[in-house]
Structure 1
Amino acid sequence: MRVIIVGAGEVGSSIASSLAGTHEVVVVDVDGERVDALTYSEDVLAIQGDGTSISTLREAGIEEADMMIASTDDDETNLVACGTAKTVDDPFTIARVKNVDYLETWQHAADRTAFGVDFMVCTNLLTAQDIVRVIGLPAARDVDPFAGGTVQMAEFGVSADSPLADQTVSEADRFDSLTFAAILRNGDVEIPRGGTRIRADDKVVVIGNPESVQEFAREIAPRETPSSNEDLVIIGGSDIGYHVARLLEERGLSPRLIERDADRARELAEKLPNTVVMESDATDAEFLAREHVDEADAVVAALESDEKNLLVSVLAKQLGARRTVAVVETTEYVSLFETVGVDVGVNPREVTAEEITRFTRELHTENVSLIEDDRAEVIEIEVDDDSILVGRPIRESVADLPEGFVVGAITRDDQFVVPRGDTVVESGDHVVVFVERDALEAVTEQL
């Protein structure tokens, strides 16, 4: 498949890296330095030019393109690029936007082709959804649903005081409908065996039904068990902060939101009937103490700058807040935030790149989740009679596949099936598997 990507920033570069191995990728950007950097780092054709220009798109081969992804940091540029592409030919177009208004307009179009866009990805809404999923599971760093919600993948951090620290996988595997898919340690991905020991500071990827994943979350972080009367504080009435509050309200929760600007606070109070909106400067430690932020189960920092999000997250932690989740606009800062004590840093660009990559992969699979900067993937595939898994016990199939592959879950007629060595996969089953990047192509060809 020939894919044209407009925008060689963090999002575009990440998508290009994910697709370059299996597709013919062309990247367009106005910045010559970005073009040069991408030319040397990835197996793609990089062109300097304006992605909204017909001549540039023709140079990139828009007439032969199957897909065009507009991923610059400017909403209007992305929409115009998609519209321009449709005037030349009819590639499938994907646009990245931040403004939810554009998404709502696109969704309300009868055939969802407004702006010349076939699929739209909204950064702010995706980020809010990611934050809400993470809040719902104690100690979780990432959460993704599969098989229509019947299966859940979650990544957890293991702290030194966690009951799982220093246990073997066999000792920790006490859940009937849960599979230990991987252990992430110092940037490396390890497929765990029964004798593999879980260490403090590891990240553990598990796949199972939602009930087992919740039970595992309570086991790994018993002091962070969520409840229906959670005290959740959102700092910053940005678009992301607003959508986090709205989504929490939809779950029956009543968060508190702190916003400095009086007009914005009034607007949010009108839009969020079940949220207590407070007008104040959240970087004021005395105010945070006065409002008992120390008692919060989770504090979400959604201000407009990384520096302020870091400050309020650290303040909340020092006061005694149980958990902090911060929006981090600069990708390189995510590890810094987590090093100084922020529990989870959510980068909107990474979330967006993953969603677009997931959608492009869904042309061949049902669902995809990227793990550890695309070092591995969790994918859902509906298997047929040609699959190496069908009609055989899983242990036999796995023996014939490359290392770095784990069957995490199976659903059959919308029912969860626990995958064990003697489980026989049937044609039509939905299989959720964990695959390391190096084994991905070989495994997916046989599934």
Structure 2
Amino acid sequence: MKIIIAGAGAVGTHLAKLLSKEKQDIVLMDDSEDKLVALDANYDLMTVCTSPTSIAGLKDAGVANADLFIAVTPDESRNMTACMLASNLGAKKTVARIDNFEYLQPIHQEFFKKLGVDSLIYPEMLAAKEIVSSIKMSWIRQWWEFCGGALILIGVKIRQTATILDIPLSELGKQNIPFHIVAIKRGNETIIPRGDDTIKLYDIVYFTTTQKYIPYIRKVVGKEHYADVRNVMIMGGSRIAVRTAQYAPEYMKMKIVENDAARCVRLTELLDDKTMVINGDGRDVDLLVEEGLKDTEAFVALTGSSETNILACLAAKRMGVRKTVAEVENIDYIGMAESLDIGTVINKKLIAASHIYQMMLNADVSNVKCLTFANADVAEFKVKEGSAITKRKVKDLGLPKGTTIGGLIRNGEGIVVTGDTQIQPKDHVVVFCLSMMIKKIEKFFN
């Protein structure tokens, strides 16, 4: 595929690095030469120093032959304009990063397609949805639903209270367990497990299961004593904070601590009465305690500083808060945050890249996600008639090493997959693999 990325900022650069590893034909364009120099020398891609809204510049970048044009500059209007121009100059598909939630309403979708903008991506909204999923339960690190919740992925940090420690997975399998362990993060290593692997203390383990067996998993990981989340404190009144408060379930009480008085006024206009807005410095622990930090089950740090967010979550944990979430935009800090036992890490770049990456796949894929801590990806494929995945039982498919099928949804019902499972056309199949292996899996579904 020929892919042109307009904007060498954080999202564009990360996406270009990601895709260049797959040997795609990548062109990264930006009007700042300084941003492009290092990338041109160190990665297998071409850079073009030009404005994304220049017709001549787009022609020079080869937009007429582009399979995918992605505009991810910081300026929403520029992204929209670049996509309109690229589409009219021959790009087959366009994606624009936006900041206006109104554009995402379904009634506007056809309008933007007529203009030449095929897809819109709003990283702050995606991040907020991920935060809300992760704070629904204090004992999980990650929560993701497939087909409206028919199948669930949960990531859990294993403590001493777990009853599944040091038991080979093949032994667990003989007990007819109602879950599938699809990935294990151990230190800096990500394991797609086999039967002889075991779960160790402090592993982050990713399970797939159905809704009714979530209490069972909670029991075997020894976290029944963790309090349910009812009170949430958010540090920083960013756009992600606003969306998080809006998407949170009705039963959750939200408090947002924001240092800027003018921003606080704006927050009170944007949010309803279930969210309390507090004008103050979220780094002031005494203020947070005064505002009820010790009675809070979840603390979410969403300032513009990754370091501040990590330190704030550490302070909250010291005060007894079970669930902490930190926005960490510096990818190099994600591993450090995990080693410091920050509960959930949110990174807009990885979230945006997951959604854009989905658009590159030829198979019918409805979900792609990068597991933030683990060097692994998960994708939901819809099975076509006659595809290779339907020809044999799962154990005989010869899936590449480093991949596993975590579960499937058939006629709206979630099913945990075993080696003897026979996948059928129209099934939705959830596949886990080490990072950048999704393209190798794709051929089984075509």
Specify the TM-score bucket, using the shorter chain as the normaliser.
0.7 to 0.9
1:93 aligned onto 2:105: no
Cα gap change, 1:9/1:266 in structure 2, threshold over 3 Å: closer, same or farther? closer
- SS of 2:400's partner is coil
Partner of 1:261: 260
Contact 2:168 2:197 in 1 (8 A): yes
How many Å apart are 1:165 and its aligned residue? 4.3
Alignment of 1:113-152 (within 5 A): 113=113, 116-152=116-152
Alignment of 1:421-432 (within 5 A): 421-432=419-430
Separation of aligned partners in 2, 1:226 and 1:81:
48
Separation of aligned partners in 1, 2:94 and 2:59:
15
Separation of aligned partners in 2, 1:82 and 1:224:
51
- SS of 1:108's partner is helix
Q: Which amino acid aligns with 1:153?
A: L
How many Å apart are 1:180 and its aligned residue? 0.7
Alignment of 1:177-188 (within 5 A): 177-188=178-189
Partner of 2:73: 72
Q: Which moved more, 1:19-28 or 1:3-12?
A: 19-28
How many Å apart are 1:11 and its aligned residue? 1.8
Separation of aligned partners in 1, 2:136 and 2:146:
16
Contact 1:182 1:191 in 2 (8 A): yes
Separation of aligned partners in 2, 1:71 and 1:160:
44
Q: Which amino acid aligns with 1:326?
A: A
Partner of 1:402: 400
The TM-score, its normalising length taken from structure 1, stands at 0.88
Partner of 1:329: 329
Contact 2:154 2:208 in 1 (8 A): yes
Partner of 1:54: 55
Cα gap change, 1:221/1:34 in structure 2, threshold over 3 Å: closer, same or farther? farther
Q: Which amino acid aligns with 2:338?
A: E
Separation of aligned partners in 2, 1:255 and 1:323:
14
Separation of aligned partners in 2, 1:110 and 1:388:
35
Separation of aligned partners in 1, 2:359 and 2:143:
17
How many Å apart are 1:119 and its aligned residue? 1.0
How many Å apart are 1:298 and its aligned residue? 0.5
Contact 1:207 1:213 in 2 (8 A): no
Point out 4+ residue stretches in structure 1 off by more than 6 angstroms. Answer: none
Cα gap change, 1:370/1:309 in structure 2, threshold over 3 Å: closer, same or farther? closer
Cα gap change, 1:402/1:314 in structure 2, threshold over 3 Å: closer, same or farther? closer
Contact 1:106 1:114 in 2 (8 A): no
Separation of aligned partners in 1, 2:287 and 2:89:
57
Contact 2:168 2:195 in 1 (8 A): yes
Partner of 2:45: 44
What do the CA deviations read for 1:183-240 (whole angstroms, capped 9, x no partner)?
Answer: 122333322233322122322222222333464245435156453x612111222211
Cα gap change, 1:221/1:292 in structure 2, threshold over 3 Å: closer, same or farther? farther
How many Å apart are 1:61 and its aligned residue? 0.6
Separation of aligned partners in 2, 1:266 and 1:219:
46
How many Å apart are 1:15 and its aligned residue? 2.2
Alignment of 1:171-210 (within 5 A): 176-210=177-211
Partner of 2:315: 315
- SS of 1:360's partner is coil
Q: Which moved more, 1:215-224 or 1:256-265?
A: 215-224
How many Å apart are 1:139 and its aligned residue? 4.0
- SS of 2:111's partner is coil
Consecutive unaligned residues of structure 1, counting only runs of 5 or more, are: none
How many Å apart are 1:272 and its aligned residue? 1.8
Q: Which amino acid aligns with 1:19?
A: L
What do the CA deviations read for 1:48-86 (whole angstroms, capped 9, x no partner)?
Answer: 222221111111111111220012233333233223323
Q: Which amino acid aligns with 1:406?
A: T
1:369 aligned onto 2:369: yes
Cα gap change, 1:159/1:384 in structure 2, threshold over 3 Å: closer, same or farther? same
Q: Which amino acid aligns with 1:2?
A: K
Separation of aligned partners in 2, 1:415 and 1:323:
30
Separation of aligned partners in 2, 1:430 and 1:40:
41
Separation of aligned partners in 2, 1:254 and 1:375:
34
Q: Which amino acid aligns with 1:264?
A: R
Cα gap change, 1:363/1:28 in structure 2, threshold over 3 Å: closer, same or farther? farther
How many Å apart are 1:442 and its aligned residue? 3.7
Separation of aligned partners in 2, 1:374 and 1:15:
18
Q: Which amino acid aligns with 2:153?
A: M
Separation of aligned partners in 2, 1:105 and 1:181:
35
Partner of 1:158: 158
Separation of aligned partners in 2, 1:141 and 1:114:
41
Separation of aligned partners in 1, 2:27 and 2:259:
44
Partner of 2:350: 350
Q: Which moved more, 1:410-419 or 1:13-22?
A: 13-22
Partner of 1:220: 221
Superposition CA RMSD, Å:
2.9
Q: Which moved more, 1:58-67 or 1:214-223?
A: 214-223
How many Å apart are 1:164 and its aligned residue? 4.3
Cα gap change, 1:339/1:100 in structure 2, threshold over 3 Å: closer, same or farther? farther
Partner of 1:273: 273
Number of residue pairs matched by the alignment: 442
Cα gap change, 1:414/1:281 in structure 2, threshold over 3 Å: closer, same or farther? same
Partner of 1:411: 409
Consecutive unaligned residues of structure 2, counting only runs of 5 or more, are: none
Partner of 2:235: 235
How many Å apart are 1:329 and its aligned residue? 2.7
Separation of aligned partners in 2, 1:175 and 1:233:
40
- SS of 1:184's partner is strand
- SS of 2:388's partner is coil
